[in-house]
A and B are shown apart, each in its own frame.
Chain A
Amino acid sequence: MPITERRNNNFWSMKGGEVKELSMVLCRSPHLLIGIIIELIVILAILIYTLVQFGSDPLLYFQIAHVTCVLMFLFTVYSSYEYIFTIRKSGIEEVVVAQCKAKGSLYGIAFFILLVPVLTISFIEFLFAAFSSICQNMPVSLYVHIFWGTFLDSLLSGILAICMGMFCGLRLERIKSYSYIAAFFFLMISASELIPGILNDGYHIDIWPIKKLFSSIFLPDQDWTIDYQYGLQIEPFRWNCVLFWCFLFFAGVISKVSQHSSKIRLPLIGICLVFSLTNLWGFFHSGSVIDLSEAPNSVFRTDQVYYRNEYPREEPADFQISSYDMHLHIGRQLNANVSMSVTALESSDAYRFTLYHTYHINRVYDENGKNIPFFQDGDYFTVASDNNVRIITVEYEGFSPMFYSNQQGVCLPGCFPYYPWAGYKQIFYTTPDSEVGLASFIPRTDSPKATYSVNLSSSSPIYSNLGVLQSKETVCGTTNGLSLMSGMLETKELDGYVMISCWSQSDFFHFSPEYFDTLQETITHLEEERGYDEHIDLKKYTLFETNETMLNRCGYGLAVPFDDHIFLAAYPDVKCVAQAITYFIHEGPPLTIEEKMQSEGVLP
C-alpha cells in the first residue's frame, strides 16, 4: 500500500523538509555560498564605514548607504541565477514534475530561500539607518521614511533581482544571461545617461522615458545634495517602475515553472501582466517628481529650455483680487479649484493673470457657473469678460518640475505662481549665456494682500503661513502670498521665534535661538545704519527654512520675505542673511543678474 500522505494536515513540516534540502543545495555550492558571504561582509563594511563617517546626518547617511542596495542587487542577481541554473541543470525537474507535480513548489521554495539573504540585508540596512536616526533623536516619521526607502530600494529591488535571476536561470545559458543582465544593469546606472543625452541633444530622439524605466529602479541622482524637506525620492512612480519589472519577470518565471496543464497558469500570468502594465501606466503618469537628470523634463532642463525662447511680460493688473477661495488636492500632482473675488479698477474686456505654464487650465467660470472664455499662453492667461463678473473660478491641474507637489512633499512658496496672480509678472530670467544653464526664478512677493480660504486634500499635513493644514481642513487668513510646504517638516518654537524647518539638517549648521538673536541684532543694526523708519521684528514672522530646491536649484537667494513669513536659508553667515532680509524688505527684491549687468553697463 502506498504510504504517501495525500492530506495536507502536515503541510508546513513537509515544506520544511523541502526547504531544508534546497537550502542545503545553496549552502553546499561553494560559488553560491562564498558569493553570499562576500555580499554580507562587503555590505556590512560599507554600512559601518558610512555610519561612522556620516552617521550624524541620518538622511545623508541613508543616501550614501544606498550604494549597498546596488551591490545587493548585483549579488542577488548572481546568486539567484546560479542557484536556479544549478537546479535546472541538475535534471531534477522532470522527476519532481512527474512524481509530485511540484515544479512550482520547487522553484517557489527556491524563491523564498533566495529571499532570506535579501530580507536579512534589508533589515540590517534599516537597522543601521534607524540607529543613525535614534542617535540624532529624529521623529518617528523619519523612521517611516527610512522604512519605505529601505523597502523600495533594498527589499523590492532585491526581489526584482531574484525574479530577474530566476527568469534568466530558467531560460538562458550563462553567457547569454550575463550579457543581458550586464546590459540591463548598465541601463540602470547613471553612466548610461550619455546615450539618451546624446540622442536627445544631437538628434532630437527622446529615449529618456525608456531610460528612466531602468534608471528609476535605483535611487536616482544619488550624487545630488538632498532636499532635507523632501527626503530621498520614493515617489509612487518609482514603486511603479520596480513593480513593473517585478511583475514582468515574475510572469516570465511563472510561465516557465507552472504546469502547462494547470488551470491557474494562464490566469496567473495574465494577472501578473495586468499588474505589470498597470504599473507601467503609473510610471508614465508619474506626476510631480524630482528629476535631477539631463532629461528634457527634468528639474533644470524644463525651465532652461522653455524660457530660452520665451519673452517675459510685466503688466500691472487693472483689477484687484480681494479674496481667494482655494480647494486644492495634492496627489501625484496639484489639482486646484481657485475662486477669486475680483474688482475691476479700470474698464477692461479682459482679466490678465499669471500662472506657471505647466499648470493646465481646464475650465474658467463665473459665480453663476457660466464658462468664461480664456486663453492660456505660457505663464500667462487671459480671461475675457466684462466688468460685471465678481467671482472668477479657475480649475487647473499639473505640476512644476522644480516646485514639487506630491504625496511625499510639497514646495509651493507664495513667490511662485502656482495659483493665479493678478496681472502679468515676470517670474523667470535667463542670462545671455543661458545655454549653459544660468537661469533662475524671480521670487515675486509683491502681490497685494488678500483674504485666503484654503481647503486642502492631502496625505500629509501642510505647513502654511496661515497655519498647519490637516487634510480636509480649511484655514483662513490675510496675506500677500500663500506658501504651502510639506514633507519632513516640523514647527519649532525657539525662544519666541516660530520656525518651520526640516527634522533632519545638514551637519554644518543648525537653527538655534542664539542664531536668531544674533540675526535680529544684525538686522536692527543694519536698519539703524541705513536709517530705516520701520523695524523688522523676526518674532512677528513665521520663519520657513528655505529648502535645497528653493535655495540652490531655483536661485531664490538667502531670504525671501513676505508680509507675514520669511523663507530663510540655513546659512551660517548671519550678516549675509541679515542683509538679504533687510534690503529685500526695505528696498525690494535683489537685482537679477541681468539687471545688475544692465546697471553696470555691461548689457544695454
Chain B
Amino acid sequence: MKITQCTKRFHKRIAVDRLSASFDTGVIGLLGPNGAGKTTLLRCICGIYKLNEGSIEGAENGVGYLPQQFGMFRALSVYQMMEYFASLKKIPKHAQKDEIERCVELVHLSDRLSARISTLSGGMIRRLGIAQALLGNPEVILFDEPTVGLDPEERIRFKNVVALRRHQGITLISTHIVNDVEAVCDTILILNEGHLVTSGTSHQIAQLAYGKVYMLSEDQESNLHGLFFVKDRVEEDGTSYLRVLSPDAQPGKQIEPTMEDGYLCAIKNY
C-alpha cells in the first residue's frame, strides 16, 4: 500500500496533511492522540472520504473495516448479520457458512451464532465487528480502536488474531492505546494534528526517548526545570518516584525508555 501526499480537509480544518507512507505485508499501528487524524486516514484509505489531494494505492480491491462506532441491525442474529456481510463481500454462497464459522470462532463467538444482536453486550458486538472485518480474509484490514470495550482476555485474543494475519496481508490498527500496538505491530506510525510525526518499529519508537526519561524521587520534583512531562508516579519501598520525560537534563537518573516514552516524546516534540 502506498499513500502519497494524502490530504483531507473539512472546510478550513485540515484533518490529514500531505501524509505519505508505504506498507508491506504485516501489522501496522497507527498511534496518535485524539484528533490526530487516524480515523480520517482510515476512512480515506477505505474510500469513505474522497481525498482533497494525493493518492492511495493498494486498497482498491476492497478492505475489511471495523469502524470506531460499529453498528449492526439489532433485529438480526449473529449468523444473519455475518451472512449479510458475506453477501455484501460477494463471498460465494457455498463458502459462506464455513467462512462465517471461521471468523466467529476467531473472536470467540461461536456459541452465540443464533443469538440476536440486541442481546449481545458491547464487547461482544465489538468482537462481532472484528469478525465481520475478517470475513473473506481481505488483503487489507483496517481496525479503528478495535480493543475498546474488550476485556483483557479478549484483548489478548484479538492480538493473537492479528498476529496470525501478519503474513497474509496488511493489517492497520488505529488506536491511542500504546500497549495494543507495541507487542503486535511490525511498524508504527505516529500521527499528530494530521501530520505523520514519525514511524518505525516499536524499538525505534522507544529509542526516540533515549536519554530523555528520568526517574526521580518526589523530593526532587521542585528541581525540575525547562520542558518536562511527568508521565508516572510510582510507589517503591515507601518512597514515591516520578517518571519524567524531558529533552533537558533533569535531576534523578536516566532510565531505559519504553515505546510509550518514545510515543510521548514524538507527540510532544521533545
A96→B133 CA distance, assembly (Å): 11
Q: Which residues of A contact B87 (CB under 8 A)?
A: 14-18, 21
> Nearest Cβ distance between residue A536 and chain B, in whole angstroms?
76
Are A24 and B92 also in contact (CB < 8 A) when A98-B48, A99-B64 are?
no
Of A6, A15, A94, which one neighbours B48 at CB under 8 angstroms?
A94
Interface centre among A20, A97, A98 (most CB of B within 10 A): A98
From B43, which residue of chain A is reached at the shortest CB distance? Answer: A98
A99→B89 CA distance, assembly (Å): 7
Contact B71 A92 (CB under 8 A): yes
Q: Which residues of B contact A2 (CB under 8 A)?
A: 61-62, 136-139, 169
A22→B73 CA distance, assembly (Å): 9
> Nearest Cβ distance between residue B168 and chain A, in whole angstroms?
8
Contact A24 B47 (CB under 8 A): no
Q: Which residues of B contact A29 (CB under 8 A)?
A: 75
Of A3, A17, A89, A99, which one neighbours B95 at CB under 8 angstroms?
A3
Of A21, A90, A94, which one neighbours B67 at CB under 8 angstroms?
A94
A1→B80 CA distance, assembly (Å): 24
Q: Which residues of B contact A98 (CB under 8 A)?
A: 43, 46-48, 63, 65, 67, 142
Are A99 and B63 also in contact (CB < 8 A) when A3-B91, A4-B138, A17-B93 are?
yes
A3→B65 CA distance, assembly (Å): 16
Are A1 and B142 also in contact (CB < 8 A) when A21-B84, A95-B70, A95-B132 are?
no
Contact A99 B65 (CB under 8 A): yes
- B68-85, CB under 8 A of A: which get 1 and which 0? 011111111000110111
Contact B75 A25 (CB under 8 A): yes
Q: Which of B155-194 contact A (CB under 8 A)?
A: 168-169
| Interface residues on chain A, number (Cβ under 8 Å) | 41
Contact A17 B75 (CB under 8 A): no
Cβ of A388 under 8 Å from chain B: no
Q: Which 7 A-B pairs have the closest CB atoms?
A: A91-B71, A17-B87, A28-B75, A21-B84, A98-B46, A98-B65, A4-B136
From A15, which residue of chain B is reached at the shortest CB distance? Answer: B87
A21→B83 CA distance, assembly (Å): 8
Residues of A bordering B, CB below 8 Å: 1-6, 8, 10, 13-18, 20-22, 24-25, 28-29, 86-87, 89-102, 105, 259-261
Q: Which residues of A contact B75 (CB under 8 A)?
A: 24-25, 28-29
Q: Which residues of B contact A105 (CB under 8 A)?
A: 88
Q: Which residues of B contact A87 (CB under 8 A)?
A: 73
A558→B114 CA distance, assembly (Å): 74
Residues of B bordering A, CB below 8 Å: 43, 46-48, 50, 61-67, 69-76, 80-81, 83-93, 95-96, 99, 129, 132-133, 136-139, 142, 168-169
> Nearest Cβ distance between residue B73 and chain A, in whole angstroms?
5
Are A95 and B67 also in contact (CB < 8 A) when A4-B62, A21-B84, A101-B47 are?
yes
A300→B233 CA distance, assembly (Å): 90
Of B47, B67, B137, B142, which one neighbours A3 at CB under 8 angstroms?
B137
Q: Which residues of A contact B66 (CB under 8 A)?
A: 95
Q: Which residues of B contact A92 (CB under 8 A)?
A: 71-73
Contact B76 A102 (CB under 8 A): no
A29→B50 CA distance, assembly (Å): 34
User: Can you list 15 A-B pairs with a CB-CB distance of less than 8 A?
Assistant: A2-B137, A2-B138, A4-B91, A5-B90, A17-B87, A22-B84, A86-B73, A93-B71, A94-B67, A98-B43, A100-B62, A100-B89, A101-B62, A102-B88, A261-B50
Contact A17 B92 (CB under 8 A): no
From B89, which residue of chain A is reached at the shortest CB distance? Answer: A4
From A6, which residue of chain B is reached at the shortest CB distance? Answer: B90
A454→B96 CA distance, assembly (Å): 71
Q: Which residues of A contact B86 (CB under 8 A)?
A: 17
Q: Which residues of B contact A260 (CB under 8 A)?
A: 50
From B46, which residue of chain A is reached at the shortest CB distance? Answer: A98
Interface centre among B89, B90, B137, B168 (most CB of A within 10 A): B90
From A17, which residue of chain B is reached at the shortest CB distance? Answer: B87
> Nearest Cβ distance between residue A150 and chain B, in whole angstroms?
32
> Nearest Cβ distance between residue A51 and chain B, in whole angstroms?
36
A261→B47 CA distance, assembly (Å): 8
A25→B81 CA distance, assembly (Å): 10
Q: Can you name 9 extra interface pairs (CB under 8 A) apart from A17-B86, A91-B69, A98-B63?
A: A2-B62, A10-B90, A90-B73, A92-B71, A94-B65, A94-B71, A95-B66, A100-B88, A102-B88
A1→B25 CA distance, assembly (Å): 13
Q: Which residues of B contact A259 (CB under 8 A)?
A: 47
From B99, which residue of chain A is reached at the shortest CB distance? Answer: A3
> Nearest Cβ distance between residue B248 and chain A, in whole angstroms?
44
Interface centre among B74, B99, B139 (most CB of A within 10 A): B74
> Nearest Cβ distance between residue B136 and chain A, in whole angstroms?
4
From B98, which residue of chain A is reached at the shortest CB distance? Answer: A3
Q: Which residues of A contact B85 (CB under 8 A)?
A: 95, 99
Contact B76 A21 (CB under 8 A): yes
A592→B157 CA distance, assembly (Å): 97
